[in-house]
Amino acid sequence: MASSEPSQYRYKIILMGDSGVGKTSLFKRIQMGRFDVNQSAVQGADLYTYSTTIDDDQINVSLWDTGGGGGARFRTTTFYRNADGAFLVYSLEDIYTFDNLQEWIDEASHHIVDMDSFQWALIGNKCDLGFSSIIGLERVKSLCDKLQTKVFHKVSAKTGLDVMNAFDGLVSAIHKSRHLNQQSHAPPQICDIIRLNTIDTDDLVSNIGKQPTDQKKPRKRSCC
Whether pLDDT at 99 is above 70:
yes
- Of 35-44, 59-68, 78-87, 166-175, the least confident: 35-44
How many Cβ atoms from other residues are within 10 Å of residue 82's Cβ? Answer: 11
- Of 29-43, 68-82, 92-106, 157-171, the least confident: 68-82
Average pLDDT over every residue of 39-48: 74
The larger pLDDT score, comparing residue 146 to residue 193, is at 146
Pairwise CA distance, residues 11 & 177, whole Å: 12
What is the tens place of the pLDDT at every residue in 5-27? 778 999 999 999 998 999 999 99
Average pLDDT over every residue of 29-47: 81
What is the tens place of the pLDDT at every residue in 146-180? 999 999 999 999 999 999 999 999 999 999 998 77
Whether pLDDT at 197 is above 90:
no
Whether pLDDT at 142 is above 90:
yes
Whether pLDDT at 69 is above 70:
no
pLDDT band at 204 (very low <50, low <70, confident <90, very high): very low
- Confidence at residue 4, expressed as pLDDT on a 0 to 100 scale: 64
Is residue 151 within 8 Å of residue 166, measured between CB atoms? yes
Average pLDDT over every residue of 130-155: 91
pTM for this predicted structure: 0.76
Per-domain boundaries in the chain: 8-184
| Mean model confidence pLDDT for the chain | 81
First to last CA, the chain: 84
Helix (H, G, I), strand (E, B) or coil at 139: helix
CATH code linked to domain 8-184: 3.40.50.300
- Confidence at residue 141, expressed as pLDDT on a 0 to 100 scale: 96
> Which secondary structure element, helix H or strand E, spans residue 174, and what is its range?
helix 163-184
Pairwise CA distance, residues 141 & 224, whole Å: 107
Whether pLDDT at 219 is above 60:
no
Among 120, 134, 137, 89, smallest CA distance to 13 is for: 120
- Confidence at residue 181, expressed as pLDDT on a 0 to 100 scale: 73
Whether pLDDT at 115 is above 80:
yes
